[in-house]
Amino acid sequence: MGRWRDGRGTLVVQRSGGAVMSVPLEIATSYRARTKGLLGRDGLEGAILLSPANGIHTFRMRIPIDVAYLDRRLTVIAVRTMHPGRLGLPRLRSRHVLEAEAGAMASWGVEAGTRVTVDVREQPK
């Protein structure tokens, strides 16, 4: 898996039944990028991966979001929908947090137990 850097990639979801879903992905690994996350945005195409992270908040967010907590093997521990102005409790086994617009994760087949992969585009040094 290696270490990611801030940038873009693709989230690959292996859906039940063998279907594969590819979703545009922003990767936020620096403190600054993780802190900003989705703050001040009116929407998001795809998802954003915060790493490392085990909890989030939605203070100053404009839209409700889906939050998936991922363990170190990128297996989904839990998925929650959070409205603006909420504080999510940290998940002890969580190493990464995936965020998307509310309702997106269900349409992608992301639920507890789903394993995802991250395909990273070549990023400039």
Per-residue pLDDT tens over the stretch 42-57: 888 999 999 999 989 8
**Which of these, 22, 43, 60, lies nearest to 99 by C-alpha position?**
43
Percent helix / strand / coil, the chain, rounded to 5: 10, 40, 50
Q: What is the pTM of this model?
A: 0.90
Structure tokens at 97: 């947090």
25 pLDDT band, cuts 50/70/90, is very high
User: How far apart (Å, rounded) are the C-alpha atoms in residues 33 and 116?
Assistant: 22
For the chain, give the percent of residues with pLDDT over 90. 69
Instruction: Quote the pLDDT of residue 122.
Output: 57
CA 28 to chain centre: 9
Neighbours of 111 (CB within 10 A): 15
Q: Which residues pair with 90 in a beta bridge?
A: none
Q: What is the pLDDT of residue 101?
A: 95
